[in-house]
Amino acid sequence: MNGIYKLIRANVGVSAMALPVLAICFGLLGDNQPHWYYSISATFYANSGPVMVGTLFSAAVFLICYGIINPYKYWLDRLTALTAGIAFILIACFPCGDTELERVGLLYLPVKVSAVIHNIVAVLGFISLAVMVAFCFTKTAETTKAKVRRNRVYRICAFIMVGVMILFALGAFTGLNGRGPFILVYETLLLWATGIAWFTKAGLLFKDE
C-alpha cells in the first residue's frame, strides 16, 4: 500500500509540473487563435487542447485515488484530495471563455455560463490543494530534521499558492490579467508549487536519512 501511495503522490506531482510545459510546447506547433497562450485554460481551444485535458484528467484520477485509499484516514486529507480531483475534471468539462464560440464544453453550455463554472471550480480546486499542502502534509508526529525541512517546503509552497491566487484576484479586479500572459504565469507558479509539494510528500525530496 505504501508503495502505491508514494507512486500516486509522485504522479500528481508529475502531472502538475508537466501541464504548463506540455500545453504551451505543443501549442507552439499549431496555428492557433490570438492570445491562445495567455492561460493554460485557453489552450483548450488550441491544438494542445487534448494534452491539457488529458493531463488534467490524469491528475484528477490520481487525486481521487489518493482520497479514496488514504491509509491515514485524515478526513481533511480525503476531502481536499477528492474536491481537487473532481474540480480538475470539471475544469476540463467546462472550458473558459477565451473563444468566439457561443456554446462550449461537455454540456454545450453558453460560453459565459461555462466560463463562470470553470472559474469557480478552478478556484475551489486550487484552494483545496493549498489547504492540503499547508495542513495535511504537515500533520505528523515525526520530529526528524528531514521532516522539519519537508514541513518548511510545504509551508513555502502553500504560501506561494495563496500568494499567487491573491495576485490573480487583484489582476482580475484591475483588468491586468487580460493584457498579457499573466494568468499563464500564475497558473504555472501554482502548479509547480503544487508539484514540488507532492514530490516532497512522495519522498523524492528531503528524505529521512
141 pLDDT tier (thresholds 50, 70, 90)? low
Q: What residues does each domain of the chain span? A: 2-201
Dihedral sign, Cα of residue 87, residue 93, residue 97, residue 98: positive
Query: Phi and psi (nearest 5°) for 110?
Result: -55, 140
Residue 191 in 3-state DSSP?
Answer: helix
Cα diameter, the chain: 57
pLDDT in tens, 89-98: 999 999 999 9
C-alpha cell at 26: 505543443
CA-CA distance, 60 to 142, in Å (whole number)? 29
208 pLDDT tier (thresholds 50, 70, 90)? low
Torsion, Cα 187 164 77 153, to 10 degrees, reads 100
The whole-number average pLDDT for the span 25-54 is: 95
CA-CA distance, 24 to 9, in Å (whole number)? 24
73 pLDDT tier (thresholds 50, 70, 90)? low
CA-CA distance, 83 to 81, in Å (whole number)? 5
The yes-or-no verdict on residue 21 having pLDDT over 60 is yes
